[in-house]
Amino acid sequence: MDLQVAMRTTGAVREFTDEPVADATIESILDVARFAPSGGNRQSWRVIVVHDSRTRQLVRDVYLNAWHDYVAHVLAGVVPFSPLASESDRSAAQARYADAVAASRPDGFAETLDTVPVMLVVCADLTVLAATDRDLGRYQFIGGASIYPFVWNILLAARDHDLGGVMTTVAVRNEPDLLTLLRIPPTFAVAAIVVLGHPKRRLTTLTRRRVSEFATVDAFDGPELHVAE
């Protein structure tokens, strides 16, 4: 598949057919994804391929609990888990948790997470991450630069196999439960759950902002970077 086509059509897919995905295909996807860049080429990623049905159900339960928390934020009109959230934002979200549970749909993505064709739990080895924003006194995300390119490569490689999928970080809200459930060492963090499968709908070109809407020259408030029409 042409690289530009893959990049323009690899969107979030959460609905799949019942067609299974062979372990050989998963291995092939990971074999390509492993060439992602990482700080110091330390390749901090570990991947747990979750097959066991009971384990999948327990992962779903952990995810669903966090999903209700996410939806509660949306119902309260605040950005879910914003690092700049105020105490009033947090309180408003907590007050809507019961409403979020009531809005749960039996056929929703979170509610049926255990039935996805492929469930991958991607972990990051904290002992090898170079988090240069560690001491800045603000929300830290630089360490993700050594793990999320790998996750993105998984989705691109899956697209090359005519598969779709999505990276979701919702369950990390309840990371301690995942560490226990999947016997993940405490020196590792859960970076994402990645689900894959054969998409129910044809994948088409995504909708995104134009370059001139997010790129400026010389300063944050500099002139827009205009691209030729």
Q: For 48-90, write each residue's pLDDT tens digit.
A: 999 999 999 999 999 999 999 999 999 999 999 999 999 999 9
CA distance 73 to 70: 5
Q: CA dist 28 to 10, 66, 160, Å?
A: 18, 31, 11
* 3-class DSSP assignment, residue 113: helix
Average pLDDT across each block of 10 residues of the chain; the chain has 229 residues. List them in order: 89 95 98 97 97 98 97 97 95 97 95 98 97 94 96 97 97 98 98 97 90 92 83
| Whole-number pLDDT of residue 229 | 62
Neighbours of 161 (CB within 10 A): 16
The CATH superfamily assigned to 3-213 is NADH Oxidase (3.40.109.10)
Q: Are 188 and 124 in contact (CB under 8 A)?
A: yes
For residue 162, the one-letter residue type is D
Which residues have CB under 8 Å from 205's CB, separation 6+?
Answer: 8, 9
Q: What pLDDT does residue 228 have?
A: 66
